[in-house]
C-alpha cells in the first residue's frame, strides 16, 4: 500500500482496493478520475461531487464514486481548480512532505542548473509543490504563494524553515499577487520580508550581472525562464541588434557580448531605469528607448531601418484561449515587421510565453509572417523554458515558453 513517500511521483495508486484514509475526503466524477488517470494533477470544481467538511486549504483524500482511492490533494474552496494532487498515497505529515519536496527540488537544480546564482528553485506542480513558487536571486529568495493550502501558517513556517536550513539566504521575501489572493479568497497581505533585512542584491546569469531589488521586482522579478535562451541568443547574434520588449535588459546585455550596437525598447520607464543600471554594472553601452513596440516597429520598418539581430519577447498576449485570435494577430504583426527589417544573414529570436498559443500555432504564425515579408527563413533552434522551470509531460500547463532562433536569407 502506498504511504506518503516524499518525492514519489503523483501517479495514482495502482491497487484498486487501497483503503481510503480517515479525515476529510473529496469524491470526484468519472471525468475527474480519468483526468488523474492520464497523469494530470488537477481536478476542476465541476468534477468534485462532494468535498464534505473539507476546510479551505485542507489535505484531502481523493476517491471516486466507486470508492477507489486516487491519492491526496490540496483542496481549495474557491478556485476553479478545486483539487491539486500532492501524493499518490495518504499524507500523514504534510509539513514534513513539503520539506522533503523542497530538498528534492533543490537537488534537481543542482544537477541541471549551471552558470547562474539566479534560478527558479520551486515551480509549483512541476516540483510536486502545487501553489508554491520560489525564485533564488543570489542570497535572496522570493516566494509566491498561490493557494489556500500553501498559505496556511504552519505550511509557511515549514517552508521557510527548510529553505533557510538548505540555502542560508540573507533574506526570504514574499511577492504577493493581490488578484490571486482574491481568487483564492485569502485575506489581503502585503509583500515583504519573512527572514532577514536585505532587500537588494546582485545576481549573475551566463556571466552577465543584474541588480535585484525585492521592491522593484515585486511584480515580476526577472524572467528566469529565459536564462538559457539569453545564452543561445548571444551565441547567434551579431552586428546591429534590437531587443524589443527588453524589460530590464537581459537579452540586450547578452547581445552586447557579440554585437557592435544594441538598442533595447520597452514601454515601461521603471524597467528601463533598471536596464540602464544593469548596463552600467556590466560596463556596456546600450541605447534604451521608451516606446510602444508596435508603433516603433511600424515606423522603423516603413523607414526601412535595418538590423542584423532582432529579439522579440512580448508579454503573454493570450491570457485565455478566448483571445487567441487577437494574440496570433499581434505575434504576426511583430514578426512580420521584424523580418522585413533584418539584413541578409540576420538573426531573429522570437518568443511567446502564452501557454494558450501552442508551439505549432506559433511556428505557423512566424511562417505566415515570413511569407508575407517575402523572406526565406531557416530554423536554427526551437527552444523552451530553462530547465529550472521543469515541464511535466502529463501537465501541459507547465509547458508554456516558445523561443525560436531563426536565420533570415
Is the sign of the CA dihedral 336, 341, 345, 351 positive or negative?
negative
Determine, following the binding rule CB under 6 A, whether residue 247 of this chain makes contact with ligand SAH.
Answer: yes
CB 379 within 8 A of CB 404: yes
Q: How many CB atoms lie within 10 A of CB 184?
A: 22
Least distance in angstroms from the C-beta of 292 to ligand SAH? 4
Q: Strands, E, within 283-401: which ranges?
A: 287-290, 307-312, 342-352, 377-383
Looking at 61, 149, 293, 297, which residue binds ligand SAH (CB under 6 A)?
Answer: 293
Determine, following the binding rule CB under 6 A, whether residue 255 of this chain makes contact with ligand SAH.
Answer: no
Stretch that binds ligand SAH, among 31-39, 93-101, 166-174, 261-269 (CB under 6 A): 261-269
Looking at 94, 108, 123, 245, which residue binds ligand SAH (CB under 6 A)?
Answer: 245
How many residues touch ligand SAH under the rule CB under 6 A: the total is 18
Least distance in angstroms from the C-beta of 293 to ligand SAH? 4
Determine, following the binding rule CB under 6 A, whether residue 292 of this chain makes contact with ligand SAH.
Answer: yes
Looking at 151, 266, 361, 388, which residue binds ligand SAH (CB under 6 A)?
Answer: 266
Least distance in angstroms from the C-beta of 300 to ligand SAH? 13
Half-sphere exposure of 353 (CA within 13 A, CB side): 14
At residue 381, what are phi and psi to the nearest 5 degrees? Answer: -145, 140
Determine, following the binding rule CB under 6 A, whether residue 206 of this chain makes contact with ligand SAH.
Answer: no
Looking at 125, 127, 162, 313, which residue binds ligand SAH (CB under 6 A)?
Answer: 313
CB 334 within 8 A of CB 368: no
**DSSP element (H, E) containing 406:** strand 402-408
Least distance in angstroms from the C-beta of 152 to ligand SAH? 32
CB 131 within 8 A of CB 177: no
Looking at 315, 321, 367, 379, which residue binds ligand SAH (CB under 6 A)?
Answer: 315
Least distance in angstroms from the C-beta of 287 to ligand SAH? 15
Among 325, 359, 351, 368, which residue's Cα sits nearest to residue 251? 351
> Per the structure block, which three cell numbers stand in for 347?
538573426
Least distance in angstroms from the C-beta of 408 to ligand SAH? 20
Of 315 and 396, which has the nearer Cβ to ligand SAH? Answer: 315
Determine, following the binding rule CB under 6 A, whether residue 334 of this chain makes contact with ligand SAH.
Answer: no
Q: What angle do CA 290, 291, 293 make, to 5 degrees?
A: 130
Looking at 271, 274, 339, 349, which residue binds ligand SAH (CB under 6 A)?
Answer: 271
For the annotated catalytic residues, the residue numbers are 353
Q: What angle do CA 133, 89, 14 make, to 5 degrees?
A: 120
At residue 361, what are phi and psi to the nearest 5 degrees? Answer: -65, -40
For ligand SAH, the binding residues (CB under 6 A) are 223, 226, 245-248, 250-251, 266-268, 271, 292-294, 313-315
Amino acid at each position: 500500500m502506498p504511504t506518503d513517500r516524499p518525492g514519489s511521483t503523483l501517479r495514482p495508486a495502482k491497487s484498486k482496493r487501497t483503503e481510503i484514509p480517515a479525515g476529510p475526503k473529496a469524491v470526484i466524477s468519472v471525468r475527474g478520475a480519468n483526468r488523474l488517470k492520464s497523469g494530470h494533477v488537477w481536478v476542476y470544481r465541476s468534477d468534485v461531487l462532494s468535498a464534505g467538511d473539507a476546510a479551505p486549504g485542507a489535505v484531502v483524500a481523493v476517491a471516486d464514486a466507486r470508492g477507489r482511492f486516487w491519492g491526496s490533494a490540496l483542496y481549495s474552496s474557491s478556485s476553479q481548480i478545486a483539487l491539486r494532487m500532492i501524493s499518490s498515497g495518504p499524507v500523514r505529515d504534510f509539513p514534513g512532505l513539503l520539506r522533503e519536496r523542497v530538498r528534492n527540488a533543490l537537488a534537481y537544480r543542482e544537477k541541471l542548473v549551471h552558470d547562474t546564482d539566479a534560478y527558479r528553485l520551486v515551480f509549483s506542480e512541476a516540483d510536486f509543490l502545487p501553489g508554491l513558487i520560489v525564485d533564488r536571486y543570489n542570497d535572496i529568495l522570493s516566494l509566491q504563494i498561490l493557494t489556500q493550502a500553501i498559505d496556511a501558517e504552519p505550511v509557511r513556517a515549514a517552508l521557510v524553515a527548510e529553505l533557510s536550513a538548505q540555502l542560508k539566504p540573507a533574506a526570504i521575501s514574499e511577492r504577493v499577487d493581490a488578484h490571486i489572493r482574491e481568487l483564492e479568497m485569502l485575506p489581503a497581505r502585503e509583500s515583504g520580508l519573512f527572514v532577514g533585512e536585505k532587500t537588494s542584491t546582485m545576481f549573475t546569469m551566463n556571466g552577465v550581472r543584474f541588480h535585484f531589488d525585492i521592491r522593484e521586482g515585486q511584480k515580476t522579478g526577472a524572467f528566469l525562464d529565459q536564462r538559457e535562451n539569453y545564452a543561445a541568443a548571444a551565441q547567434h547574434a551579431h552586428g546591429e541588434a534590437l531587443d524589443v520588449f527588453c524589460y530590464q535588459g537581459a537579452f540586450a546585455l547578452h547581445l552586447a557580448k557579440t554585437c557592435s550596437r544594441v538598442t533595447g525598447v520597452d514601454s515601461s520607464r521603471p524597467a528601463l531605469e533598471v536596464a540602464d543600471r544593469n548596463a552600467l554594472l556590466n560596463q556596456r553601452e546600450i541605447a534604451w528607448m521608451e516606446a510602444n513596440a508596435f508603433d516603433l516597429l511600424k515606423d522603423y520598418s516603413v523607414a526601412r531601418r535595418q538590423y542584423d539581430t532582432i529579439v522579440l519577447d512580448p508579454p503573454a498576449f493570450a491570457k485565455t484561449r478566448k483571445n487567441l485570435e487577437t494574440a496570433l494577430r499581434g505575434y504576426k504583426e511583430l514578426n512580420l515587421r521584424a523580418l522585413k527589417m533584418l539584413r541578409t544573414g540576420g538573426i531573429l529570436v522570437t518568443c511567446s510565453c502564452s501557454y494558450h498559443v501552442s508551439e505549432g500555432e506559433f511556428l505557423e504564425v512566424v511562417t505566415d509572417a515570413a511569407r508575407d515579408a517575402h523572406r526565406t527563413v531557416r530554423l536554427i533552434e526551437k527552444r523552451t523554458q530553462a530547465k529550472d522551470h521543469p515541464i511535466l509531460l502529463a501537465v501541459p500547463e507547465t509547458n508554456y515558453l516558445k523561443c525560436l532562433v531563426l536565420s533570415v536569407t
